[in-house]
């Protein structure tokens, strides 16, 4: 099958995801609910305790919450993919002369809007509350690029979970088992130095920590190139390992 046809099929299925999003705007609520709750809860509840003053904490926590929001969006990707595979609709796709990878491409492409939206919404909320970016356009673009690359990587994790799980409940359970240690076992909410020693070992290597630190650095005018490199390495590593695994599982299942 020619690459042009694969793209056309993928685009048709991405179109499907976008149309669904337009019909059911409450998905927007799913995207927003978690980040808003976390921003409000952490900034006003724990902000003073962690940073001594909630304004300073806001500067610290917003980039991390953006990363967390991406992870929660990926739960939706995994769920919708899983529902599709268990329904008759995938049988129809597979009985048609379309590229086998098209449904996966469609999901990732179609959901990319949600990932962008999640990032934009978290930063918009932050700016309203007083989050201030102290960086030039290239640094901001770099931060956005890092986040989108990471979103692409977790999209593949979500894809793997979506195609491997036998039920929606399993998708939920697996995703949360992954999301919680990655987000709460990171320095999204609490600086690494204030965590217990045994936890610090994990927090320091956690990709979410690397990415949050890299974004903080870029947006707050203190870019740390080693962190950025490590974050990119993680992102690339996840894609290289998980994407083939997801495709393999998909081919066997589908």
Partner 1 sequence: MIEVDGLVKRFSKTVALDGIELAVPAGSVCALLGPNGAGKTTVVRILATLLRADAGTARVGGFDVASDPDRVRELIGLTGQFAAVDEALTGAENLLLIAKLRELPRREARRRVAELLDRFGLADVGGRLARTYSGGMRRRLDVAASLLGSPKVLFLDEPTTGLDPRSRADVWALIRGLVADGTTVLLTTQYLEEADRLADTISVIDRGRVIQAGTPFQLKARVGGQTLTVRPVEPARVRDTAEIVKRIAGAGPSGDTHGDVVSAVVPAGSDAAAMLAEVAAELRRAGISVGEIGVRLASLDEVFLALTAKELVA
Interface with partner 1 (CB under 8 A)? 1, 5, 8-9, 11-13, 15-16, 19-20, 23-24, 87-98, 102
User: Distance (Å, rounded) from C-alpha 218 to C-alpha 36?
Assistant: 23
Is 16 or 55 the residue whose CB approaches partner 1 more closely?
16
Radius of gyration of the chain (CA): 19
Could you tell me the smallest distance in angstroms from the CB atom of residue 220 to partner 1? 40
Could you tell me the smallest distance in angstroms from the CB atom of residue 209 to partner 1? 36
Is 11 or 224 the residue whose CB approaches partner 1 more closely?
11
Could you tell me the smallest distance in angstroms from the CB atom of residue 35 to partner 1? 23
What Cα–Cα distance (Å) separates residue 115 from each residue in 24, 127, 182, 231? 16, 19, 18, 18
Is 67 or 98 the residue whose CB approaches partner 1 more closely?
98
Could you tell me the smallest distance in angstroms from the CB atom of residue 169 to partner 1? 19
User: Distance (Å, rounded) from C-alpha 242 to C-alpha 164?
Assistant: 12
Is 3 or 88 the residue whose CB approaches partner 1 more closely?
88
Is 48 or 83 the residue whose CB approaches partner 1 more closely?
83
Could you tell me the smallest distance in angstroms from the CB atom of residue 162 to partner 1? 16
Could you tell me the smallest distance in angstroms from the CB atom of residue 170 to partner 1? 20
Exposed/middle/buried for residue 116 (C-beta within 10 Å: 0-12, 13-18, 19+): middle
Is 64 or 110 the residue whose CB approaches partner 1 more closely?
110
């Amino acid at each position: 099958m020619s690459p042009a046809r694969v793209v056309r099929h993928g685009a048709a299925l991405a179109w499907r995801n976008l149309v669904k999003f337009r019909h059911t705007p409450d998905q927007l609520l799913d995207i927003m609910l978690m980040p808003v709750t976390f921003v409000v809860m952490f900034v006003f509840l724990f902000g003073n305790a962690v940073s001594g003053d909630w304004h300073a904490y806001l500067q610290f926590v917003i980039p991390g919450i953006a990363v967390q929001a991406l992870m929660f969006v990926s739960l939706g990707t995994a769920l919708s993919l899983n529902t599709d595979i268990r329904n008759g609709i995938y049988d129809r796709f597979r009985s048609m002369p379309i590229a086998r990878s098209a449904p996966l491409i469609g999901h990732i492409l179609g959901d990319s809007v949600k990932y962008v939206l999640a990032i934009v919404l978290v930063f918009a909320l932050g700016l309203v509350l007083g989050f201030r970016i102290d960086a030039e356009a290239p640094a901001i673009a770099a931060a956005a690029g890092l986040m989108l690359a990471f979103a692409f990587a977790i999209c593949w994790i979500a894809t793997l979970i979506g195609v491997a799980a036998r039920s929606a409940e399993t998708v939920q359970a697996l995703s949360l088992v992954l999301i919680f240690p990655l987000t709460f076992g990171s320095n999204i909410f609490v600086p690494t130095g204030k965590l217990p020693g045994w936890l610090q070992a994990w927090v320091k290597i956690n990709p979410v920590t690397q990415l949050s630190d890299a974004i903080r650095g870029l947006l707050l005018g203190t870019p740390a190139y080693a962190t950025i490199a490590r974050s990119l390495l993680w992102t690339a590593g996840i894609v290289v390992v998980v994407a083939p695994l997801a495709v393999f599982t998909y081919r066997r299942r589908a």
